[in-house]
Structure 1
Amino acid sequence: MSSVDTTIQLISANEIDGEVCSTDLAEGPWVFDLLAEPGYGPGSSMHDEIPAETPRQGEIPAEYREASDEELEARIFAAKETLGDRVVVLGHFYQRDEVVRYADFVGDSFQLANAARSKPQAEAIVFCGVHFMAETADILARPDQAVILPNLAAGCSMADMADIDSVAECWEQLEALYGTEPDADGRVPVIPVTYMNSSAALKGFCAEHGGIVCTSSNAATVLEWAFERGQRVLFFPDQHLGRNTAKAMGVPVELMPMWNPRKPLGGNEAQELEDARVILWHGFCSVHKRFTVGQIEKARAEFPGVQVLVHPECPMPVVDAADAAGSTDFIGKAIAAATEPTTFAIGTEINMVNRLAAQYPQHRIFCLDPVICPCSTMYRIHPAYLAWVLEGLVRGETINRIRVADDVAVPARVALERMLAARPGGPSERVIGD
């Protein structure tokens, strides 16, 4: 089975049939690093508004941009062999195959940040993912370990939809409305919960205001933790994960108002916020927003008995229409557990879906969205950038190091520790330092 990148190249050259969301996907990512107007690049987030202060990647040397696939392969393997245990390469599930093949660990953002800790001898952690993931790795890494993001333009449009200034302003308005005094049960008026897909600054904000971090796999446990301590939850940045998780826990949708940071009180009436159980930030993942109920209906019509698995970042009607919803790890495990040949329609990023299809040829596995549209920012990582930063390390040069300042990292780590200590049925003593 061809990789997603190879398929995009063949479609763009009219050598095979198929549809991509942007023909620019066939270009090298470096083409978009130097554009006068910054953007996330071609792919699912290409129409999202990008903050002016978003990190940008300068031009990488021509020897990497112009190198053949074979030359890049040889240089990457040679650099890794030279560096040995001094470096660990992490690859997110959504990375292109051409990058994942060089990873020492493949997983979701938090799995990878923790995987790096199993290589204590590593002087450098090269994170083939996006910016907030590299920040989390830096928070969890030793002070003497350097975390490197091969392309600084690999951000996340969802994470950018909630910035520290907007969240702080929201919090001030909520405090003015609710006050700060706990109720008779000792629960404060509102607890902030941020998804892992957010900046280190927002993780720190949550810690400083009694809140916590969640992942897509433990969101329900984290919300339980928050409801024990607060009358309401402010959930950001992804509205869909918050809505889908809270709805599955029995929270009525009408008690989950949306907060639009561009409007007073988020665009809500005061009574709506008084009645709220979960206040949802107006953010979303552009990858998962592409999936629709119509796609599910089409899959069921064409493949009777199909199992539809989607990520909880998908809109609520899509999650409701699917057979199951869960994290990337959940989706992978569900397919691995199937003992009989099964048809699976998957609602998550195409690189992961394509890789699962190759890994489990006994099943029919396909992406719900027939249009190939990878994550714009994961796409910004390319073997050329990986070769560039690895050969830099060989020369003793650390390129694109991601550093989280101590005044942000310390509280952010507290929020992560709270997440790890939250367990169904009661707290655990396990913390990040275990």
Structure 2
Amino acid sequence: MNYKEEILKLKNELDVVLVAHFYQRDEVFELADITGDSLELAKKVMESDKEFVVFCGVGFMGESAKILNPQKRILMPRIACCAMARMIDESYFLENLKKMNEAGISNDDILPITYINSSASVKARVGEMGGMVCTSSNAYKIIEKGLKSGKKIFFVPDRCLGQNFAKSLGLKSAVIGDGSNLKEADIICYNGFCSVHQQFNIDDIDFYREKYPGIIVAVHPECDPAVCDKADFVGSTSQLIKFIKELPIDQKVVVGTEFNMVNRLREKNTYILSSTKPECPTMNETTLEHVYNTLKSIKDNKISELTEIKVDEKTRYWAKIALERMFEV
């Protein structure tokens, strides 16, 4: 079967929009009606008048789209789980609050901020405590807004993102569980990380700078702080794309982020900051066959509960508040 042809036929027949994150496989990405990073996709879905959204990404992205678009039916060909998002759930969130309490910090003095790479239930907990969601592109503004409350920021789940933004703002950070002094920190980070961005290290940077004098090093802020400190440019997925595409074509650049995205940026003078292939395993779970099967299930009115995203109303309510606070900033 030619899945590409069948997908295009079904898209024309059905009241559906196909969306795909930048990290998706090329063959899936190229068939999407809407592409972008996680927040862009959730917001663009709001602008679509289609009843069905077939979302090619990971679970928390589909949940964000459902939270913001409760009237739409959000289907995911594969409800793959982001490894970072899976590192924290409600119980771990509460357990870490308790550790801060034990360090002499009361909940009244804590403002939680969650990276969008988190479950709907974690976003809801953050919303209930007066906190906000952030992305890698707007975290500066969100953290600055949060600090005006006079409270300590509890940043979940990515420690690297929290540490990097704290450093850039001239603030003290601490990671729960690593022995650092929580009470002295302005930003207290949950001990989570992105498995893909942990692959990049400063030895890789030294290697490329020695091999290609004048090369530019551009990395994502989910990388280790030592890597970000040594890079020439640090930016979110969208910011990296914009920065690299505006470089002269003869300017060599080495990039520290997910392979699929970097691979389609430029035809020449673009390198991956790793000796191994930094490919997100969960983002790559979605295949054309999965997309076809999901579209076919819509046509046949046989949608599987295993593909449809649902969020209970209480969770959706508080998670939406956390997201809306971000939009206000």
Question: Normalised by the size of structure 1, how large is the TM-score?
Answer: 0.73
Give, in whole Å, the separation in 2 of the partners of 1:370 and 1:334.
23
- Counterpart check, 1:129 vs 2:57: yes
Match of 1:276 in 2: 185
| More off after superposition, 162-171 vs 125-134 | 162-171
RMSD value over aligned CA atoms?
A: 1.4
Tell whether the 8 Å contact from 1:76 to 1:390 is kept in structure 2 after alignment: yes
Q: What number of residue pairs does the alignment pair up? A: 326
Give, in whole Å, the separation in 1 of the partners of 2:91 and 2:13.
44
SS at match of 2:96: helix
Give, in whole Å, the separation in 2 of the partners of 1:249 and 1:191.
17
Whichever of the two has the greater Rg, that structure is 1
SS at match of 1:229: coil
Match of 2:313 in 1: 406
- Counterpart check, 1:72 vs 2:7: no
Instruction: For residue 149 of structure 1, report the CA deviation from its aligned partner.
Output: 1.0
Q: Report matched runs for 1:276-315 at 5 Å.
A: 276-315=185-224
Deviations 1:194-216 (A, max 9, x none): 00000011111111011111000
Match of 1:391 in 2: 296
Match of 2:31 in 1: 102
Deviations 1:335-354 (A, max 9, x none): 22224521110000000010
Instruction: For residue 366 of structure 1, report the CA deviation from its aligned partner.
Output: 1.4
- Of 105, 119, 131, 1:178 maps to 105
Match of 1:356 in 2: 265
Q: Report matched runs for 1:124-273 at 5 Å.
A: 124-143=52-71, 145-152=72-79, 154-175=80-101, 177-180=104-107, 188-251=108-171, 255-260=172-177, 268=179, 272-273=181-182
Residue identity in the other structure for 2:77: P
SS at match of 1:285: coil
Question: Percent identity among equivalent residues?
Answer: 37
Residue identity in the other structure for 1:167: F
SS at match of 2:54: strand
Unaligned runs of 5+ in 1: 1-66, 181-187, 261-266, 423-434
Give, in whole Å, the separation in 2 of the partners of 1:173 and 1:289.
26
Moved over 3 A (4+): none
SS at match of 2:19: strand
Match of 1:89 in 2: 18
Give, in whole Å, the separation in 2 of the partners of 1:355 and 1:370.
18
SS at match of 2:182: helix
Instruction: For residue 224 of structure 1, report the CA deviation from its aligned partner.
Output: 0.5
Match of 2:285 in 1: 380
Tell whether the 8 Å contact from 2:245 to 2:265 is kept in structure 1 after alignment: no
- Of 390, 412, 415, 2:322 maps to 415
Tell whether the 8 Å contact from 2:162 to 2:189 is kept in structure 1 after alignment: yes
Instruction: For residue 102 of structure 1, report the CA deviation from its aligned partner.
Output: 1.1
Unaligned runs of 5+ in 2: none
Give, in whole Å, the separation in 2 of the partners of 1:268 and 1:111.
37
Instruction: For residue 163 of structure 1, report the CA deviation from its aligned partner.
Output: 1.1
